[in-house]
């Protein structure tokens, strides 16, 4: 994990997620000031996910064939363009348009970067490696809103977009000079074209592997839940509980930093204990916390719930990420991560639209109750899909040693 490629990806993803999360809690507020309401507010948060859902699978699969690095850098450049575009927005329609454009960047960056790390991960250490790498993503998302709150209050609203563009440019530069064109697993497959053809399976065939379908469905349900609720968290804190911009950023940071800092330890647990149980326990815990979040009477209790959700998220996400790497070795790392990206994007869109309708009809609390119910429903679905499915591999297997239809035995 101390290799230059891992460090380069870590720095780049941390900077990218921090920059992106700086604007995520501000966009609904920004759009509301420009006249948006209800479903439009939900779309302001989630429209990027439409593009992510459309392009994510193809970006992942193409990166299996042509290499990861060009896709990651192209995605960061698209993000920079979108960040600067927010500065010119005169209506909430333009805010939504630039948010949609950033979704193309999402599809090219995150799943492909995780696929690159998955290529480097030793068998049996998926939880440890993904746990450490996830801190870049989670801590980046956690610190971004806090930094944004400081910029917004001390410098001005639009300074946040300038800071976001600067962070993204920095991450692109780091990747350009430090990241090799091909990962070790890519190099091995390129040296044996026959193996590469064996790994190039279609999306439908990949989803017939029960582990692939389980992690894809799980990510989708979590995203529906998040889209229905978390897109309204900034409004819940500001309008419902009277929080200032800095305290809104602190609340977002509480959940993400808690989960992020716990990831390395939780990753080791995911390599030792039943990953299915860890995923299910984390989901069930968070379902309760999320439902309560929409009805707590004060800011302090909301922050406490977000802290507890961070622990639940950390446990379920690191175990699920380890399962994605195992599934990726069977069906193509980029293909599996791309399917996850599409499921994530579609879930956020569906959830945010549903949440917007519920908010219009019943108030902000209904969106959080709906999100909690969906997350709870995901527990039995995930356990049923993974019952009897192999979630680990012997450490001595090579890249080509695992058949694509391997799905039974083990834990």
pLDDT for 246 equals: 78
Dihedral of the CA atoms 369, 374, 380, 382 (nearest 10)?
-140
Rg, C-alpha atoms of the chain: 20
Alpha-carbon dihedral sign for residues 140, 141, 146, 147:
positive
Q: How far apart are CA 312 and CA 327, in angstroms?
A: 23
For CA atoms 343, 349, 352, 356, give the dihedral sign.
negative
Q: Please give the backbone phi and psi of residue 399, each rounded to the nearest 5 degrees, phi first.
A: -55, -40
Please give the C-alpha separations between residue 280 and each of 132, 275, 315, 384, 385, in angstroms, as whole numbers: 21, 9, 9, 11, 12
Residue 257 sits at the vertex; the CA angle it makes with 254 and 262, to the nearest 5 degrees, is 125
pLDDT of residue 190: 62
- C-alpha closest to that of 130 among 283, 304, 328: 328
pTM, two decimal places: 0.73
Cα dist from 354 to 43, 211, 346, 372, whole Å: 10, 28, 12, 13
On whether the CB atoms of residues 345 and 56 are closer than 8 A, the answer is: yes
Backbone torsions φ then ψ of 92, nearest 5 degrees: -70, -20
DSSP H helical segments within 363-403, as ranges? Answer: 364-386
Question: What CA–CA distance (Å, rounded) separates 63 from 199?
Answer: 13
Three-state secondary structure call for residue 288: helix
Domains of the chain (ranges; CATH) run 4-183+193-386 (1.20.1250.20)
* C-alpha to C-alpha distance for 118 and 106, rounded to whole angstroms: 18
**3-state SS, residue 390:** coil
Q: Which of 230, 67, 81 is nearest to 141 (CA)?
A: 230
Structure tokens at 67: 């290499």
| Model pLDDT, residue 406 | 38
pLDDT at residue 251 in the model: 82
Give CA–CA dist 325/340, Å, rounded: 11
Return the DSSP state at 236: I
Regions of the chain with pLDDT less than 70? 1-2, 38-39, 42, 45-46, 185-201, 393-411
d(CA 87, CA 212): 40
What six digits make up the tokens of 322? 């380890």
**DSSP H helical ranges for 333-363:** 333-362
Whole-number pLDDT of residue 104: 85
How is residue 181 written in tokens? Answer: 């064109």
C-alpha–C-alpha distance, residues 352 and 223, integer Å: 9
CA atoms within 13 A on the CB side of 123: 17
User: Which of 150, 315, 159, 180 lies closest to 249 in space, CA to CA?
Assistant: 150
Q: What is the pLDDT of residue 401?
A: 39
Distance (Å) of CA 188 to CA 40, 184, 322, 324, 401: 47, 6, 22, 20, 13
- Around Cβ 395, how many Cβ atoms within 10 Å? 9
């Amino acid at each position: 994990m101390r290799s230059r490629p891992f460090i380069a990806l870590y720095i780049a993803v941390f900077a990218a997620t921090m920059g992106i999360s700086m604007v995520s809690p501000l966009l609904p507020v920004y759009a509301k000031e420009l006249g948006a309401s209800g479903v439009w507010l939900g779309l302001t948060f989630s429209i990027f996910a439409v593009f992510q859902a459309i392009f994510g699978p193809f970006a992942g699969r193409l990166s299996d064939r042509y290499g990861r690095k060009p896709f990651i850098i192209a995605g960061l450049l698209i993000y920079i363009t979108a960040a600067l575009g927010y500065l010119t927005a005169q209506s909430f329609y333009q805010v939504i348009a630039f948010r949609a454009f950033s979704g193309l960047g999402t599809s090219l960056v995150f799943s492909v970067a995780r696929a690159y790390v998955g290529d480097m991960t030793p068998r049996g250490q998926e939880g440890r490696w993904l746990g450490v790498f996830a801190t870049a993503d989670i801590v980046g998302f956690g610190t971004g809103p806090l930094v944004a709150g400081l910029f917004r209050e001390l410098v001005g609203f639009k300074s946040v977009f300038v800071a976001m563009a600067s962070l993204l440019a920095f991450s692109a530069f780091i990747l350009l000079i430090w990241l090799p064109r091909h990962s070790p697993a890519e190099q091995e497959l390129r040296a044996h074209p026959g193996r590469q053809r064996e790994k190039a399976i279609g999306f439908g065939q990949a989803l017939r592997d029960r582990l692939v379908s389980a992690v894809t469905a799980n990510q989708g349900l979590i995203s529906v839940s998040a889209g229905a609720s978390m897109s309204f968290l900034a409004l819940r804190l500001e309008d419902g509980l009277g929080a200032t911009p800095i305290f809104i950023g602190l609340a977002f940071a509480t959940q993400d930093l808690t989960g992020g800092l716990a990831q390395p330890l939780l990753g080791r647990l995911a390599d030792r204990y039943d990953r299915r149980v860890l995923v299910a326990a984390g989901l069930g815990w968070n379902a309760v916390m999320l439902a309560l979040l929409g009805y707590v009477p004060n800011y302090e209790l909301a922050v406490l719930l977000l802290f507890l959700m961070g622990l639940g998220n950390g446990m379920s996400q690191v175990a699920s990420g380890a399962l994605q790497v195992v599934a990726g070795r069977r069906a193509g790392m980029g293909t599996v991560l791309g399917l996850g990206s599409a499921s994530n994007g579609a879930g956020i869109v569906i959830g945010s639209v549903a949440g917007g309708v519920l908010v219009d009809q019943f108030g902000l609390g209904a969106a959080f109750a709906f999100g909690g119910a969906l997350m709870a429903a995901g527990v039995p679905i995930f356990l049923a899909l993974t019952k009897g499915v192999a979630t680990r591999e012997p450490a001595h297997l090579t890249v080509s040693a695992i058949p694509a239809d391997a799905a039974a035995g083990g834990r």
